Structure 1
Amino acid sequence: MNAPLSWLAIAGPTASGKTALALALAQERPVEIVSVDSALVYRGMDIGTAKPTPQERAAVPHHLLDIRDPSEAYSAADFARDAQRLVAEIRQRGALPLLVGGTMLYFKALFEGLDDMPAAQPALRAALEAEAQAQGWPALHAELAQVDPSTAARLSPNDGQRIGRALEIYRATGQPLSSFHHRRDPAPGQPPQIAGQTGALLSLEPTERGWLHARIAQRFDAMLTDGLVAEVQALRARGDLGPELPAMRCVGYRQAWEALDHASSDSRTAPNAAELRQLRDTGIFATRPLA
């Protein structure tokens, strides 16, 4: 490109190496990292989100980490507003804004804007969660395919969070989620912009699915070793959090919460060996569709 970049974004699936690349770039020039991750915003959720270590955060300034309590919401619109402000502030300090993460809705909101979406309907969502418990998310995915085929086509049959939201919108409004999406793509050949500033989006796309699946398994095993279950136990002990909250629906946390539910139903405080194996399998399986 003829003009220097005003910012650089690094996207890609879970465990594809985004953090390592960002830290390597930070050794070459002054950068500040803006997290593009819907889970890293939450305080007290460090292990299951693979949050940057204190050493990494000390080496390079990081933004949009630990900015919400797990009981609070954080939307794509919130992210777009915060990221635009941070990009301007980082540029004023003479550093390169480096946006790093895999929450693609956040990138969409930042580059294209978002249409107004219907407000959340907690009662409807609770009913959908109950149906999923009884029938399984693939059954609700099949229902979604009947009323909103374009949305269903891009979702995994086990992506409960997004299937639930799409059906919630349909039941509340009678309109499919896809009817609220009106893409505002840049003109052909035009690079992406943030608040009028030109940058570039670099996507890490592993060509070997087996390699990525192995990385996902290694990462989830490391989370379990580092204390994911104990982290979720501490969150449950607060008493004000539940599995219906967006924070607790994050992959890894949802599965650990369910494992602890099974343990508590037998008057135990921790999952047994078989439940831990099940937690490992379901956590890895749930991560693959997101990747």
Structure 2
Amino acid sequence: MIERVRKKTLVCIVGPTAIGKTAVGIRIAQHYQTVILSADSRQFYRELTIGTAKPSAEELAAIPHFFIDSHSIEDDYSAGDYERDALALLDSLFTRHDRVLLVGGSGLFVDAVCRGLDNLPKPLPGMRDRLNAIYKDQGLPYLQQWLEKVDPVYYREVDIQNPQRVIRALEVYESTGTPFSHFRRQQLAARSFSVLKIGLNADRGLLHQRINTRVDAMMEAGLLDEVKALLPHRAKPPLQTVGYTELFDYLDGKLTLEQAVEQIKQHTRQYAKRQLTWFRKDKETVWFAPEETGRIIAHIDATLQ
């Protein structure tokens, strides 16, 4: 009798920021004696630590992690680059593990590995420069309103506090006359492994409380000093994100520190809502509370039997 070859499985732990994905991922990885690939697009950068809520030194020591501190903010690293690098790494990891975890809340990067990315049309020459100039002159709210008008579908999903993502969507629209959301891959790319998606969520009030507590903890841990040290690099795309732009505004005298911290909390809550919108589109994702590790493991075992 020929023994059936078990297909390797990528177990994805997704959900909104501050929900507890890191802790759950580590417990599940320990149970299966496997490793974790980070799918948090800001944790790649070694210069960003406090503001990206990276796993602690103890957490990193507990389980091998990949794509943490793997790049510098001087590097241009896209979702397409991540797709290529993660798939190559998985080819190697699956020679030693039946299951590997992908943990993070950057939906585009999760989709890059699980679904593949479409080959987006090339933008018109000079379009990126024109949009960057508009951003510098008119500010992010102007671009946000523009995107909401021309591509309301993507507007509801994208992190609109990230100018790089907003500008990229407008670049595609202005170059083609077609919304960015139209180019989102509808068919799965061929993968040599199975994908099992676990979503983590909680009551909205509890999630907001966790976000507020995390932001306060970041400030106590020295986020402002981290931002001050990054001032020479403030134009880099990874720093045009929540937790950094608000404190840059404080350092520019546009906000009080109290206002900046409150804006970080508000923008993080908005980002969490958009993450949930993104992940809920995938009907194959099964949702749990972050404290339900036992049920999650039972679900994984039952699904993969």
TM-score by length of 2: 0.78
Cα deviations across residues 192-230 of structure 1 (Å, max 9, x unaligned)?
x7x321131111122x11110110011111111101111
2:174 aligns to what? 171
Structure 1 residues 125 and 242, CA gap change in structure 2 (3 angstroms):
farther
Distance 1:201 1:80 in 2: 17
| Contact 1:216–1:288 (CA under 8 A) maintained in structure 2 | yes
Q: Aligned AA for 2:136?
A: A
Select which of 231, 242, 245 maps to 2:234: 242
Q: Which runs of 5+ in 2 are unaligned?
A: 273-305
Cα deviations across residues 132-178 of structure 1 (Å, max 9, x unaligned)?
43xx61x4433333323332343576564433332233234443212
1:214 aligns to what? 209
Structure 1 residues 165 and 35, CA gap change in structure 2 (3 angstroms):
same
Following superposition of structure 1 onto structure 2, how do residues 134-213 of structure 1 map, counting pairs within 5 Å?
Answer: 137=141, 139-155=142-158, 160-185=163-188, 195-206=191-202, 208-213=203-208
Task: State the superposition RMSD in angstroms.
Answer: 2.5
Structure 1 residues 4 and 196, CA gap change in structure 2 (3 angstroms):
closer
Q: Aligned AA for 1:205?
A: N
2:130 aligns to what? 124
2:259 aligns to what? 278
Q: 3-state DSSP class of the match of 1:93?
A: coil
Q: 3-state DSSP class of the match of 1:252?
A: coil
Cα deviations across residues 225-278 of structure 1 (Å, max 9, x unaligned)?
101111111122xx3x233x2211121112122222228xxxxxxxxxx72111
Structure 1 residues 197 and 155, CA gap change in structure 2 (3 angstroms):
closer
Number of residue equivalences: 265
With 39-48 and 150-159 compared, the bigger mean Cα shift is at: 150-159
TM-score by length of 1: 0.82
Q: Aligned AA for 2:86?
A: A
With 221-230 and 92-101 compared, the bigger mean Cα shift is at: 92-101
2:287 aligns to what? none
Following superposition of structure 1 onto structure 2, how do residues 1-291 of structure 1 map, counting pairs within 5 Å?
Answer: 6-94=9-97, 96-117=99-120, 118=122, 121-133=127-139, 137=141, 139-155=142-158, 160-185=163-188, 195-206=191-202, 208-236=203-231, 239=232, 241-243=233-235, 245-262=236-253, 275-291=256-272
| Contact 2:8–2:98 (CA under 8 A) maintained in structure 1 | no
Q: 3-state DSSP class of the match of 2:12?
A: strand
| Contact 2:162–2:242 (CA under 8 A) maintained in structure 1 | no
Distance 2:36 2:68 in 1: 10
Cα deviations across residues 88-118 of structure 1 (Å, max 9, x unaligned)?
2222233631110001101111122111233
Structure 1 residues 210 and 161, CA gap change in structure 2 (3 angstroms):
farther
Q: 3-state DSSP class of the match of 1:203?
A: strand
Distance 2:77 2:103 in 1: 17
Structure 1 residues 62 and 225, CA gap change in structure 2 (3 angstroms):
same
Q: How much has 1:6 moved relative to structure 2?
A: 2.3
Q: Aligned AA for 1:63?
A: F
Q: How much has 1:287 moved relative to structure 2?
A: 0.8
Distance 2:97 2:159 in 1: 42
Distance 2:49 2:63 in 1: 18
2:285 aligns to what? none
Identity %: 35
| Contact 2:116–2:185 (CA under 8 A) maintained in structure 1 | no
Structure 1 residues 183 and 12, CA gap change in structure 2 (3 angstroms):
same
Distance 2:43 2:224 in 1: 18
Q: Aligned AA for 1:99?
A: L
